[in-house]
Amino acid sequence: MRDSITGFSLFNENKLARQVDHRSVLMVESDADVSLIGLHVDEDVVRCKPGFARTATLLAAQLHLNYGDKWVAAIVDRDVVNSAVPSNAFTTRFYDLEAEIFLTNIDSVAQLTFRHLVTEETAGSMRMSEARQVVESAIELARAIGWVRYANNRQAMGIGTASLPLGEVVRRSRGKNTLIEAAAEMACVRARQPALAAALGADATSASNDPSILIDVCNGHDLFNALRFRISAVTGRAVAEREFARSLHALVSCPEFVATSVFGPVQAWFAREVGNGVFDCQLRTLMT
C-alpha cells in the first residue's frame, strides 16, 4: 500500500474525501506522526492524513496550494538537502517531530526509561539518576550515527547508515575508536567499503565539532533504537520499538506539544485561511 502512494494519489484522495467530509486536512509523513499529533487535534474540524513519504506529502501539499485548497496543510521533517517547501507545509526544528519531542522533553523520556529499567532484580536499587544517565548515553550513541549519516550525505559516499547493529558499534568504540569513528567503520564494513571508514569517520567528527552547522542530526528512529539498546543492556530484556515510541507519544502533554516548532505556524495557518485553528491544546492548556 505504502509503495503505491504518490503526491498525486494523496491529492486525489483528499479531494474525493472532501465531498463527504468537510473537515480540514493536516497531512503528516507517517502513522507515528499521527500517533503523536492526533492526540492534540480538534477532531471536529480536522483529520490527520499520513503520506508515508516526505516527497509525496510535499507534492500533495503543493498541488493543493496550486488549486487554492486552503483547508490543507502539512507537517514534514526538517530538510537537510534544502528542497523546496510550499507555504502550506511546515518543517520541524529538529530532524523530525519524534526527535524534537525526545530532545526537548528529557524528563518525560527519563520517566519512561525508569519504568522500563525497574524489574524484579532492580526494583530495590534503581534510581531516576540512573535513568537519566541511560538517556544521555542513548543520545550520544544516536548522535554518533546521525553525524555519520550527515557526513555520508554531504560527501555522497553512498554508505547506508540505517539500522546499524548498535551492539557492534559500541563494541568497536571500546578500543581506539570514538562512537562516531566506530559507527563510520561499522557502516563501511557493512557496505563492503572498509577503505572509506577513516575518511567518513574524520568528516563526521569534523562536522560534529563545527558550531556553524546549526542542525541536530538525530532522528527519532535512531534515538528510540539507541535508548532501547541502552535499556536492554541494563535489564537484559528486549524492548519493543513501536510500543516504546507510542508510550512516549502518550506522555506528551498539551504544554509540551504547544512548545513544539510546528504548533504555532500550523495553528496560525488554519486560523488565517479557514477561520479556526486545528489543535485543541491551547484551549485545554488555558483551562488547566
Q: What is the pLDDT of residues 206-229, one digit of tens each?
A: 988 876 665 668 889 999 999 999
Every domain of the chain and the residues it spans: 2-93+256-287, 106-251
Does residue 27 contact residue 75 with C-beta atoms inside 8 Å? yes
Look-up of cell digits 526544528: 93
Look-up of cell digits 539518576: 129
pLDDT for position 214:
52
Q: Say if residue 16's pLDDT is above 50.
A: yes
Averaged pLDDT, 70-85: 83
Q: Say if residue 251's pLDDT is above 50.
A: yes
- Angle subtended at Cα 103 by Cα 24 and Cα 125, rounded to the nearest 5 degrees: 125
pTM of the full structure: 0.87
Where do runs of H (alpha helix) occur along the chain?
Answer: 7-18, 31-37, 54-66, 97-104, 106-117, 128-155, 166-173, 179-190, 197-208, 220-235, 241-251, 254-258, 263-273, 281-287
Can you tell me whether residue 143 is helix, strand or coil?
helix
pLDDT for position 40:
93
Q: Say if residue 286's pLDDT is above 50.
A: no
23: left (phi over 0), alpha (psi -120 to 50) or beta: beta
- Angle subtended at Cα 204 by Cα 113 and Cα 79, rounded to the nearest 5 degrees: 75
Q: Taking the CA of residue 85 as centre, how many other CA atoms within 13 Å lie in the half-sphere pointing to its CB?
A: 16
Look-up of cell digits 510546528: 262
Averaged pLDDT, 68-77: 95
